Structure 1
Amino acid sequence: MSSDGTQHNPFQHDRTPRDDAPQFVLPLVARIERDEPPARTDALETAARAVLVLLSDERSLGEGEWAQAVHDWQDARIRKVVRRARGAEWRRAEALPGITVTGKSAEVRVFPPVPLDGWPKDLARLQVSGTDLDDPEPPADTDAATPVLWLSPDLDMSAGKAMAQAGHGAQLAWWELSGEDRTAWREAGFPLAVRTADGERWERLVTSGLPLVRDAGFTEIAPGSCTVVADHPALRLDRR
């Protein structure tokens, strides 16, 4: 959302005047212990919920202590970077202002946005690599009432990259929901699923009018690549 209240596409890869403004990034840290790493899908879903929890937190709204940083971040390209931590690294990350969101096996801590070159030292020293995760069992089927963040079947992304993309999709859905639907989602605890679409479904989704993430191409994949479609039931109904 820009300063004049108009919506913009934060994932377009053409250069805009916002690229000349100070850039911010949303840090997310996944707890990945060597002996007990989380399941991949649970980590993706937990990261997406963490973004929603931060966006709806009172500290991010109005005159809240994080509100200006969140505004400045959302007024440019809404970059997210996922790093990993274990042991003492995780304990140091937990000591910094932020919110920890827990899934079935995953823990993700989200922090208020920081300048692109101004990470807190205890986060800056964490590694981006090493977030390759697996699902011990295939993810369960979803029902029509559950918001689903559909991943492209055509892209090979690390778990860290996919966590960031799922967060982007959740954020775009949040922006498009009405105030009533936002409240209902938040009060329900932000239920959602992350799944990889098959080719036929993906072709339908990218032309459906639902929120679509096109990656800026900073890491791993080409600029403009379609990565996620946010299929929230309330948005789906709006497009019938």
Structure 2
Amino acid sequence: MPRPELLYGISFIGLRSGHALDTEAHRGSCVSAASQLLKVHAVCPLSRRKIPLLLSDSLPYVEDTDVYVGVPCVSPLDADIAEKSNRPVPGGGTGAGHSELAEAGAGGFPTSAKLRDWLISRQRYWGTPIPIIHCPSCGPVPVPEDQLPVQLPDLSHFPKRGISPLEEAHEWVKCSCPRCGVAGRRETDTMDTFVDSSWYFLRFLDARSTQHAVNPRLQDALMPVDLYVGGKEHGGWQGWCSSLTL
């Protein structure tokens, strides 16, 4: 919720169809032609009041989200939806202060509403291989350290959208379990190249080192930097270069 101080004023929470709670077991009565009242409910962390959940695709959801918080006291649209759905309209929409929110453990942004498993969902052939072998007997087994790094195969064509490009690299996928020796399969998901953004700038300290990924002597002498300049996804090495003088 972008404005947790309005928790007192929530009248309903809307969910898109396809949400995890959208099951036949959870569906209840129809509120209108465009929405359905679920049998489950949310609980306000401040007042402990039960908040009804409406299954509806007609609410003004923010792009890439599937939850809508209805606060009639600050939104005429939410007030109209609450009235048509016969939902109660609580008062005190601005009554929660920072101390009260902190005490209840409410507020803040522990996760992004838009980014979802960012490093895994963006499948790329050139992404970082996940060093796991799936064994029918042992389950997921880490690739032994002396077999790292896992090398990507050469691909002559790329499969249709929606699957990992490595799924069709059949010879590469086949391998033996390092624990018991039976036939296993390599993990075909990859991590997006952004997985390197948190550390790759350190490589610029000594890019020619063959003994260490990061030269510990130079790292101890020159890190951390005093100023970071760059975007939240990129800019690690730009930040290093802009704040370090050799």
TM-score, length-scaled by structure 1: 0.23
Greater gyration radius: 2
Tell me which protein shows more helix as a share of its residues: 1
Select the structure with the greater relative contact order (CA < 8 A; seq sep ≥ 6).
1
Structure-2-length-normalised TM-score? 0.23
